[in-house]
Structure 1
Amino acid sequence: MEWVFDGEVIEWRGPAPYFFVAMSEPDSADLKEQARSLIYWGQVPVRVVVGETEFRTALFPKDGRYLIPLKDVVRKAEGLAEGDVVTVALRPARRDE
């Protein structure tokens, strides 16, 4: 199963800035149900495509939604900044995949 959606790049300030795109609550609930056997420590391993860049990561649950972390290498490759709206395609992936 694959989810494709548009989302805004948001910054979450902590000890260092982190950038994410949030899934909608309905998509997050659907993903949680579909990927139940893959979830560990509340995170879901996924393969993600943003623009021309494909990468593996784990989604973080926050306030009923999953957040897709955007590493610096992804943001630089795609020229992304806070506030940009991007199209994200993702699918659950086994950790050994």
Structure 2
Amino acid sequence: MRVRFEGDVYRWEARSDSDWYFVALPPDLSAEIRETQTFRRGFGGVRVDAAIGGSTFRTSIFPQTGGVYVLPLKRAVRDAEGIDPGAIVRVDLFVLDA
């Protein structure tokens, strides 16, 4: 499954020293992934390849309360693409687990 979406970048605020940044997938896309993906990794993660700007990376998306998946943004990607909290990013996502 290949998809493209835009989302707001936010910082995980559970701890004040957190350096975890995410972008939430749209609810309808999250529902589609949840319905089609039977293989999940730890914490319910689904493996993906992602691209933002000129950066590509492999990671997992994770389900959150409320039913949406979130994509963690690696520091190297944020630095390379100049991404700050509150930015809107366009993500090309390829779901690997089937």
Work out whether the TM-score is over 0.5: yes
Cα deviation for residue 13 of structure 1 reads 2.0
- Identity of paired residues, percent? 37
For 2:22, give the aligned amino acid: F
Report how many aligned residue pairs link the two structures: 93
Pairwise mapping of residues 1-97 of structure 1 onto structure 2 (< 5 A)?
Answer: 1-15=1-15, 16-36=18-38, 38-41=39-42, 42-63=44-65, 64-94=67-97
**Counterpart of 1:55 in 2: which secondary structure?**
strand
For 2:49, give the aligned amino acid: R
Name the one with the larger strand percent.
1
The CA RMSD over aligned residues, in Å, is 1.2
Cα deviation for residue 69 of structure 1 reads 0.1
For 1:59, give the aligned amino acid: I
Deviations 1:38-72 (A, max 9, x none): 31231101000111100000111112100000011
CA–CA distance in structure 1, aligned partners of residues 24 and 56 of structure 2: 17
Report which stretch shifted further, 71-80 or 14-23: 14-23
Task: Give the TM-score of the pair, scaled to structure 2.
Answer: 0.87
For 1:71, give the aligned amino acid: K
CA–CA distance in structure 1, aligned partners of residues 54 and 34 of structure 2: 26
For 1:39, give the aligned amino acid: R
**Counterpart of 1:29 in 2: which secondary structure?**
helix
